[in-house]
Amino acid sequence: MVSKNNEEFELEEFVPYIVSTLSRQFATLLEKSLKEKGLSISNWRVLLCLSKYEKRTLNEIVDYTLLPQSTLSRSLNRMEERGLISRTRRRNDHRTYDIEITKVGQATLEDTVQDVKKMCDEPLTILEPDERENWLSTTNKIINHFGEK
């Protein structure tokens, strides 16, 4: 027997479901675009972080990218092997490394940005400019509201 409450519930109208679906679709687009450049989403986030800040520690990159530390550590190892980043042990704290983007990493990021932006902007072309602006504003307002709690 189905309860009356369950009959009134529509998964397609449930905000977490909608957000999850949209997120998965954009992640798929992003992964496809990055894979063509030999990058993962983790690599992409790290390169964006390091291009914005001169030097970062592992914990600072975790905070910026929202990646789990274990995932980030493995990703940084591979990125260093590819010459995308460099790590330098701090003189005053030998447990901590300063992590920087290399010239190769910066060039890789610059080569990728426009393609990624174009691919991920395409689904939004169905929106009028004011609809897009309202959607972004509303979405950011909701995100910021979560941060206030």
- Residue 20 forms part of a structural domain: no
For residue 101, give the H/E element and its range: strand 97-101
How far apart (Å, rounded) are the C-alpha atoms in residues 30 and 23?
Answer: 10
| Backbone torsion region of residue 66, taken as left when φ is above 0, otherwise alpha when ψ lies between -120 and 50, otherwise beta | left
Q: Which domain does 63 fall in, by range?
A: 36-121
- Name the amino acid, one letter, at 11: L
- Residue position matching structure tokens 């992640």: 27
Q: How many residues does the chain have?
A: 149
pLDDT in the model for residue 92: 84
For residue 21, give the H/E element and its range: helix 15-35
Domain count, the chain: 1
- Residue position matching structure tokens 């479901």: 17
How far apart (Å, rounded) are the C-alpha atoms in residues 98 and 67?
Answer: 18
pTM of the model as a whole: 0.78
- Residue 92 forms part of a structural domain: yes
Series of mean pLDDT values for 10-residue runs along the chain (149 residues):
66 92 94 91 94 92 93 93 94 88 96 91 94 95 85
pLDDT in the model for residue 95: 83
Residue 74 sits in a domain of what CATH number? 1.10.10.10
| HSE-up (13 A, CA, CB side) for residue 45 | 20
Residue-wise pLDDT tens digits, 35-45: 988 999 999 99
How far apart (Å, rounded) are the C-alpha atoms in residues 96 and 105?
Answer: 21
pLDDT in the model for residue 147: 78
- Residue 27 forms part of a structural domain: no
pLDDT in the model for residue 37: 87
Residue-wise pLDDT tens digits, 81-103: 999 999 999 888 878 899 999 99
- Residue position matching structure tokens 């798929």: 28
